Structure 1
Amino acid sequence: MSVHDELTAVQRSLDDLVRSVGRLEQHVGTDSLDVRRVRTDADHLRESVALLRASAPPEPAKQERVPIPDTPYDRALWTDAEDEGLGSREGHAP
């Protein structure tokens, strides 16, 4: 996985954590010191992931695929090419 894929996975997990903390706050209330600590820690993690994302190297551009047709090439393209390698035009090696 690339760095950007990993950061996206971390961001998704962090979003799940923030939603869970929100549900926890509804059940326990926001007056609890422990719940406030968890909320603050989740907010700090969000900020840290945002800083990591900003400092990550840019994602390389995806290379465009060039389709190669299944049809044979025009033999006229190869009339000026020299024979290379072993063998001769008749198919017999020297």
Structure 2
Amino acid sequence: MSVHDDLSTVQRCLDDLSRSVGRLEQQLGSGGLEMRRVRTDAAHLRESVALLRDAAAQPAAPRKPELVTIPDTPYDDSLWIDTDDEGLGARDRHAP
């Protein structure tokens, strides 16, 4: 299936969900917290699918990795004064 077909299927399912939520509201009433949450969640799903549909309609631009320039100048030695060489022990001590 293509993305367009999948989005159409999801949209049909959301339409079915909206109809079912409407029927439940008629039977249970719309004042309860649970019903408001279900109605709100269904609306959020509808908005999310609309965003997906918009994103899928736009052609994806090829993404170039962001290059990071690493300078050739040496690091400042004062950055390493209070550290141990990892895995080698302290500067003034010898390995056992």
TM bin (shorter chain): 0.5 to 0.7
1:19 alignment counterpart: 19
Identity %: 69
Q: 5+ residue gaps in structure 1?
A: 60-94
State how far apart, in whole Å, the 2-side matches of 1:48 and 1:42 are: 10
2:31 alignment counterpart: 31
Name which one, 1 or 2, has greater alpha-carbon Rg.
1
SS class of match (2:20):
helix
TM-score by length of 2: 0.59
Aligned length: 59
Matches within 5 A, 1:38-57: 38-57=38-57
TM-score by length of 1: 0.60
Q: 5+ residue gaps in structure 2?
A: 60-96
SS class of match (1:56):
helix
4+ runs deviating over 4 angstroms: none
Once the 2 structures are TM-superposed, how far is the Cα of residue 58 of structure 1 from its aligned partner?
Answer: 5.6
Once the 2 structures are TM-superposed, how far is the Cα of residue 8 of structure 1 from its aligned partner?
Answer: 0.1
